[in-house]
Amino acid sequence: MIPAMLVAGTHSGVGKTTVVLGLMAALKRRGLVVQPFKVGPDFIDPTHHTAICGRTSRNLDTFMMGAEGVRRSFSRGVKGADVAVIEGVMGLYDGLEATEVASSAHVAKTLDVPVILVINVHGMSRSAAAVALGYTLYDPEVRIEGLILNQVGSERHLTMLREALDLPIFGSLPRNADISVPSRHLGLTMGFESDHDLDALADFVEENADLGRMLELGCEVPPHEPLPEASGEGVKIAVAYDEAFCFYYQENFDLLRALGAELEFFSPMHDDLPEVDGLYLGGGYPELYAEELERSGTRHQIKRAAEDGMPIYGECGGLMYLGESVISGEKEHRMVGVLPASTIMTRRLQALGYVEGKVVGENPVVATGKTIRGHEFHYSRMDCARDARFAYRFTRGKGILDDKDGLTEQNALGSYLHTHVYSYPMDRFMKGCREYRGR
């Protein structure tokens, strides 16, 4: 048993993220080792969790990882922690289309973890009781143990709410315009970009919530299988990690290491490409750093490595960087030039949601015939060469062109798809890296 709670909202925009960050900061300030988690595929909230808690936040997503993957991630993540805090996604019951899959409620049921429901009570009194009752009765298997009331207007407002509500009230947060987190086009700013006043966040929650009662909540830690042991010679894989490339799932790193990879983190803007056997380029914001990426000679080193047959895998931002150029407005910046396509930035969201499909073409990362799952989220489209080759065909999701994704050239693969190793095996990529090393 470990003290644990899943903080969910009635819907997006109720202040759930601010509540969670303040809760994490307050618990950390008490001297507790806090293990953070995030429901869903989001990369950005976890960077804030990590910055506050000093432990890498892990995603819990029943669509990409499956229920067993969620249990394994939770079990491995809480090792050495005093308390686990899970931030929900959207509204408590909002999942894939009309199902519970990928919802906060599904994760809560998978782990049997208690839920604290955040309700924005601005403009409500007795109606808040109806909201709480509806959420409690909708699925009795979801253990809603108490409430945090956000945007409480006054003591009189709080008195009315207390008289109307039957569930325990763990916190009543007054309106405070100074406690917020800035955002950008893909969501919040990244944790390493933020200048959180941690004391202010901690004070806000500590003064207006009962942390002691929340720490009485908890769940059993599920048993988990050990990571696979490495088979074959170890390899070195370069991982692009800087302001431009920062969207990664921790389990992807964990599994690559378990399979025998030594990961070398570097910045394509500031560093040379290390002496390695493969390259992993995650998502991020290459469009915001296109000038620096163009100016860096590292793009030429990566192109030469690709021409030499090095296995290269790029996701979303990595796909954009491996292409010919990134075009934003009147400006065009040259990129690596491995993949025969250019990225055109748009003002409108081009794709958002879960993706599922089949691997239909040869590529250096995953075998043909496999079913793959992931997530896509981008404000860009790609102008591809007529003879461009694609490895994926989506049955759900948009992809690069007409449900096709996974652009391949030489021994490189780039995709809009963000993937998780629990549904996207990396052993083929590792095999290719070993073969490249042994040439």
φ, ψ at 356 (rounded to 5°): -145, 145
> Over 90: is that where the pLDDT of 420 sits?
yes
pLDDT digits (tens, 9 = 90+) for 224-246: 777 777 766 789 999 999 999 99
Give me the pLDDT at residue 200, please: 87
Average pLDDT of the residues in 141-159: 93
The pLDDT assigned to 425 comes to 85
And the tokens for 402? Answer: 């007409």
316 has catalytic annotation: yes
Identify the pLDDT of residue 355: 96
Domains of the chain, by residue range, sit at: 2-219, 235-437
- Which tokens in the block code for residue 33? 């080792």
Q: 277: phi > 0 → left, psi -120 to 50 → alpha, else beta; which?
A: alpha
pLDDT of residue 187 exceeding 70, the answer is: no
> What would the mean pLDDT of 327-351 be, rounded to a whole number?
95
- Residue pointed to by tokens 């009570």: 121
Report, as an integer, the average pLDDT of 273-294. Answer: 96
The C-alpha atoms of residue 326 and residue 331 are separated, in whole angstroms, by: 8
User: Does residue 178 have a pLDDT over 80?
Assistant: no
Question: Pick the catalytic residue: 246, 316, 384, 433?
Answer: 316
Token pair listed for 113:
């973890």
Residues 400-404 have a mean pLDDT of: 93
Cα(211)–Cα(155) distance, integer angstroms = 20
Residue 195: how many other CB atoms lie within 10 Å: 7
The structure tokens listed for 153 are 């207007």
Residue found by looking up tokens 């924005």 in the block = 120
- Name the DSSP letter for residue 364: S
CA 175 remoteness from chain centre? 29
Q: Which long-range contacts (CB under 8 A, 24 or more apart) does 399-405 make?
A: 399/351, 399/355, 399/357, 400/319, 400/341, 403/357, 405/355, 405/357
- Name the DSSP letter for residue 193: G
Would you say residue 431 has pLDDT above 60? yes
| 189 has a pLDDT exceeding 70 | no
pLDDT at 177: 54
Residue range 347-364: mean pLDDT, rounded = 94
Q: Which CATH architecture has domain 235-437?
A: 3-Layer(aba) Sandwich (3.40)
**pLDDT band, very low/low/confident/very high, at 438 (cuts 50, 70, 90):** confident
pLDDT at 181: 52
Read off the pLDDT of each residue in 112-128 and give the average, rounded to a whole number: 95
| Distance, first Cα to last Cα, the chain | 50
Pick from 143, 120, 432: which is nearest to 259 by CA?
A: 432
Q: What CA–CA distances, in Å, run from 199 to 172, 179, 182, 204?
A: 19, 11, 18, 8
pLDDT given at position 57: 97
For the chain, give the number of residues. 439
Q: What are phi and psi of 351, to 5 degrees?
A: -160, 140
Q: Supply the pTM of this predicted model.
A: 0.92
Distance CA 132, CA 227 (A): 41
**Mean per-residue pLDDT, 143-153:** 94
Superfamily of domain 2-219: P-loop containing nucleotide triphosphate hydrolases (3.40.50.300)
According to the model, what pLDDT value does residue 184 have? 41
Q: What is the pLDDT of residue 361?
A: 92
The whole-number pLDDT of residue 328 equals 92
